[in-house]
Chain A
Amino acid sequence: MNDLSLEVLPGQVFGILGPNGSGKTTTLGIILDVIKKKRGEYRWFGEAPSAESRKRIGAILETPVFYPYLSAVDNLKIVALIKGTSESRIDAVLETVDLHERKQDAFKTYSLGMKQRLAIASALLADPDVMILDEPTNGLDPQGIAEIRQLIIQIAQQGKTIILASHLLDEVQKVCSHFAVLKKGKLIYSGSVDEALTGTDTVEVAADDMSLLEEAIQQFTHTESVRPEKQFLRVRLTDNQNSVDLNRFLIERGIIVSHLLQRTNSLEQQFLQILATDSNSALNSTVNQTATNHA
């Protein structure tokens, strides 16, 4: 990890996005007190971290972790004892993740999807303020992925703060309200999903008189935001308007542009590049999948 600083506020569904090996699990391991940090600090609920603060968090790191020979119920009883909560919610959380019928079966007999669901049930058990989910859909089939995502969205709607680590842009986009992008332990980006990933593309515009140009664009009714960059203005448009519409408006105003370029979201491209440079073939297939989704 290198100089990473993040803040997650109550009620956010916060995605930590990055390819494998980018430091997602390490970051989560540090704030859950199972990985030693060289320096730096973190706080939970505005206080110094302790075992008590961890009891208010429901977390899974990497793979679901349970005693293979114990049933779902016995495994959750152990969690309840550690967290100091009553066992009365066990049936309810198993119902939530739809494992009720198999609750007396040993964990080792479960499919991967059921194991992931039990992990989520375990994280939900103490009715925590914060949930931490690390690659919750890893290794699942499309149906399993859809189920888990639906479950996360459902939990988020109850107002819980969720921190979700994933290497899937698509997943973060579908589930999260805010997100951060990590690469090799460094923070590349942090912000809200709506701002960064959805909404319309941006348009780069330049003209001889930049201040006049900016003034004119501000008056364009479909302009959402204008941000000056080195050589041009970056304009975000709404209402499905594109560079053609903007150009038409500027010409009507008597402004001739010297540079006009429609850009698909730059962050997305940056993220795709991060993934593409990764040698992992699984990730490459993800790139293709993601690219298709946004084509």
Chain B
Amino acid sequence: MPRLIAIEWLKLKSYRPFWILMILYFVVLGLVLSGVGFFLEYLASTGGGNFNGLDPSMVPFYDFADIWQNLTYMATFLKIFLGFIVVISITNEYSYKTIRQHIIDGLTRWEFLASKLLIILTITVVNTLFVVVLGLILGSIYSPVKGLDVMFINSDFLLAYFLDVGVFLTFALLVGMLIKRTGFAIVLLALYTFFLEPIGALILSEVYDQYTFHQYFPIRAINNLIPVPFGKYAFQEVQDYVAVGDVVLVTAYAALFIFLSYRLLKSRDISG
């Protein structure tokens, strides 16, 4: 395993597009997550938004206990950019034909896949830690309650976030391997995530309204991990916990994506 990480590190350490995209992603993620407070204050100053007559700046967005579901929910919207980075890292291997040379040089197909999964794991861990650290900083600034006993209440959403991003990136890996071309794969990943599956699910729910199988589509299943938290600020009932069923489902999806990626590597000629 250290050998596979060393190989990937050599490839990435001088690959500028990777670092530029990564830095850009974290800058934007940091701005979005820390900017909500300013946004709510802006809303309050203009009197905009529908908060049932409440002052938006009073919304306890960064309060401990609430903060983890709020931050992770917001953060999942940006995971598509990490998906693009993963797609690039796999389609590059096809466009440079280095995947073929790796196999010729003596890497097994499984080792090749494992090296990419390790990259996904690393990105996901770093990404989750980033949100943890940012959450602790923002919470310590804005939260009226502080201290170790409250800081990690509801932190199961961090685990959900870890799974959410990790499984999505595994899906991105599968798409990249299937399509092989960077541009196509990025467009298809975005199309599927934002249009094909949601619209398809909508149509299916109209036709088969008594069934809810579209709940189990991959992107929907991943997004179900962290439910929309904001309803509670308008006095609506929201799911404020991570459902075990959702965790099981996305874990099964991760296994399926990895299995399909491996089958692709096994069954096709390795070409550029």
B16 / chain A contacts, CB cutoff of 8 Å: 69
Q: B residues within 8 Å of A by Cβ?
A: 3, 6-7, 10-11, 14-16, 96-98, 100-108, 111, 267-271
Query: Do A51 and B10 contact each other (CB < 8 Å), given the known contacts A34-B100, A67-B96, A69-B16?
Result: no
Q: Is A181 an interface residue (CB 8 A)?
A: no
Contacting B at CB under 8 A, from A47-75, are 51-52, 54-55, 57, 59, 61, 63, 65-71, 74
Q: A34-B271, A36-B268 are in contact. Are A82 and B96 (CB under 8 A)?
A: no
Task: Check B103 against A34 for contact (C-beta < 8 Å).
Answer: yes
Of B6, B103, B108, B267, the contact of A81 (CB 8 Å cutoff): B6
Q: Which residue of A lies closest to B93 (CB)?
A: A67
B108 adjacent to A74 (CB under 8 Å): no
Select A52's contact among B7, B106, B271, beta carbons within 8 Å.
Answer: B106
Give me the interface of A with B, judged by CB distance under 8 Å.
Answer: 29, 32-36, 51-52, 54-55, 57, 59, 61, 63, 65-71, 74, 77-79, 81-84
Determine whether the beta carbon of A65 is less than 8 Å from that of B269.
no
Knowing A81-B3, A81-B7 are in contact, say whether A68-B96 is a contact too (CB < 8 A).
yes
Give chain B nearest CB distance to A70 CB in angstroms. 6
Known contacts A34-B271, A69-B14, A81-B6; A51/B100 CB under 8 A: no
Known: A51-B107, A81-B3, A82-B106. A70 touches B100 (CB 8 A): no
A34–B269 Cα distance when bound, in Å, is 6
Q: Give the shortest distance, in Å, between B129 (CB) and chain A (any CB).
A: 27
B270 touches A34 (CB 8 A): yes
Give B118 Cβ to nearest chain A Cβ, in Å.
14
Q: Which residues of A contact B105 (CB under 8 A)?
A: 54-55, 59, 79, 82-83
Q: Identify 9 residue pairs between A and B in the complex whose beta-carbon atoms are under 8 Å apart, listed by A's number.
A: A29-B269, A34-B103, A35-B271, A51-B111, A54-B104, A57-B106, A67-B11, A82-B7, A82-B105
